[in-house]
Amino acid sequence: MPMFLRRTALATAVAGLCLNVSVSHGSSHREAPFITEIPKVDATDFYMFRSYEGGRSDYVTLIANYQPLQDAYGGPNYFDLDDDAIYEIHIDNDGDAIEELTFRFDLTTITNNLTVTSGSEDVVVPLKNIGGIGPSAGDTGAVQSRQEYQVSVVQGDRRNGNVQTATNITTGTDTFRKPMDNIGDKSFGGTDEYAAYAQNHIYQIDLPACGTNGKVFVGQRQDAFAVNLGEIFDLVNTDPIADMPGERNDETNALANKNVTSFALEVPTDCLTGSATNSNGDPVIGAWTTASIRQAQVLNPAPESNGKGASIKGGAFTQVSRLGMPLVNEVVIGLTDKDRFNASEPMDDGQFLTYVTNPSLPELLEILFGGQGAQAPEPPRNDLVTAFLTGVDGVNKPTDVTASEMLRLNPTVATKAETNQNDLGVLGGDAAGFPNGRRPIDDVVDIALRVSMGALTSDAPNKDIPFTDGTQVDPDVLDEQFPYLTTPIAGSPNGTP
C-alpha cells in the first residue's frame, strides 16, 4: 500500500514585478503569497529533456526541484522534504490538458534517537548525525534522522486512477533512500566523497507499465540557475540590453551558493508518448509538476517527544504548488491570482487567458526602459499563446491541443552533448532546448525576456534586441549524466580535518 494512504501605483506594480522576476530565476522560487509559508513544497524548477548521457537517448529525463534558496549551512535540521505531502510529475500525452500518467513521490522520515552518555544518563543528541556518513547508501549507523521514499505510477486521474508501486531493482523492495544533505566535509570526508555517496543513491527502478531500466534519484543538488537578485529587486536596477556578448554574464549570480532538492526520474520515451503528435507526426509529451498537502492542520500546544506532535494533519490532499513552463506564475499571472494558479489544473487554464494575450510584463518593461529602445508589441499577444499554451507549430504543438500551460517536448529532436548546447535554446538555433522541453543549461530568463518583448513575432519593434538579466548558467554546476545537476555545496567550509 503506498505510503500516502497511510498517513505610488506604478511603483507598486514595478516592485511586484521585480519581486516575481528576482525570486524566480529559473522558474518558481517563492512565487505566490501562500507558498512562502510552506517552502518544503515550493516547486522551483521543472526540466524535461531527451537524455543526453551516452547510451541513454531513448530516455526522457524529468527533474522537479523543490525548496528554494537553501543555504548549505542550514543546520541542525537542514532541508528534509515534507513527509505529510505528496510530490507529483504529471504527463499529458494526448493533448487534452488532463494527465494520463502521474509519477508520485511519497516520503517517510526514519528516526533512530541516537544518544550519548552524559553522567549517568543516555541523552538524545541534537544533531542529524554523530559520526561519519557513507559512502554506502546503507551506512546509516551514525545517522539520527533520514528519509526514504516510494514511487507510484498512476494511470488515469491522479486521485482515482490505477495506482501501482514501483520497485527498487537494487533491493527488490518498494523503498528508496534519500541521501543526507551535504552537511560538510567532516561528516562525509570531502566533496568527492559526498559525490560518491550521493551516486550510490541513484537507483535502477522498475516502473509499472514503463519497464525495468529507468533511473531515480531524490536528494540535494546545487541549484543550477543564475540571477542577479539584488539589482532585479531594486526596480530592475541594471541594463537589460546586452550590447556585447559578455554582458549576458557580467552581473552577480546571487544563487551561486544555494542548493535545492531534486526529484529526478529517467523514463523510457515510449512509456511517455501517446496519441499526441505534431503536424509532422512526431510525438509530443506535455508535463507539469505539483505538490499537495492535507486540507486540515491543527497545532498541538504541547508537542510530543517523538517530534511528530507539533501538529495533526488530515483530510484530502489539496494542491498548493504547480509548475510547468518557467516564469508563468512569476511574470505572467497577476498577484491576486497567484495562489489560485498554484491550485489549478491545466485543463482549466482558460480562466487565465487574459494574462497571456494582454500581458503586463512587456508594458512595465516599456515604462522602465522605453528610452533604451524597449517597446512592447501590441496586444493581443497570440505569439505568447504559442509560447505558453500550445507549443510551437511543427515542433512541440500537438495537432489536437487544448490550450494549457505546461512544458512540452518533441523527443525525436536529436540530443546534443552539454558542451554543444546553446543556452538560448530554439532562439539560439538549438531545437533540442527550451521551449522544446527544458534542459538545465537553458537560460529561460533571457529567453522569456526576449519572447515577452516579441522575439517570436515577425514585426515587433525590438524582436531582435538581446534582453538579458546579466547572468548565465555556469556549466560547472552541471553534469553530463543523470541526475545532471551536480554535487550540492557543503555546509562546512573548512574541508577535511
- What's the CA gap between 277 and 279, in Å, rounded? 7
The residues facing 162 across adjacent strands are 155
For the ranges 139-143, 285-289, 301-305, 409-413, the lowest mean pLDDT is seen at 301-305
DSSP H helices in 307-390: 328-331, 338-342, 353-357, 361-369, 382-385
- State which amino acid sits at residue 75: G
The pTM is what?
0.92
Q: Give the C-alpha separation, 92 to 101, whole Å.
A: 7
Give how far Cα 34 sits from Cα of 11, 12, 486, Å: 23, 20, 30
Between 462 and 222, the higher pLDDT residue: 222
What is residue 255's predicted lDDT score, i.e. its pLDDT?
79
Per-residue HEC secondary structure of 283-297 comes to: ECEEEEEEEEEEEEE
What confidence score (pLDDT) does residue 265 get? 98
Structure-model confidence comparison of residues 28 and 89, the more confident one: 89
pLDDT digits (tens, 9 = 90+) for 191-204: 999 999 999 999 99
Query: What are the CA-CA distances from residue 281 to residues 61, 223, 366, 410 (Å)?
Result: 22, 36, 40, 10
- pLDDT surpassing 80 at residue 447: yes
Please tell me the predicted confidence (pLDDT) of residue 6: 39
DSSP notation for 144-176: SEEEEEEEEEEESSTTTSEEEE-EETTTSSS-E
262 grid coordinates:
531534486
CA dihedral sign, ordered 444, 447, 453, 457? negative
Residue-wise pLDDT tens digits, 276-308: 999 999 999 999 999 999 999 888 888 776 555
| 359 preceded by a cis bond (ω within 30 of 0) | no
C-alpha triplet 142, 143, 148: angle, nearest 5°: 140
DSSP state of 277: B
* Selection from 202, 262, 229, 198 nearest residue 46 by Cα: 262
Q: Is the pLDDT of residue 18 over 80?
A: no
**Hey, what's the cell of 63?**
527533474
Interval 396-420 mean pLDDT = 96
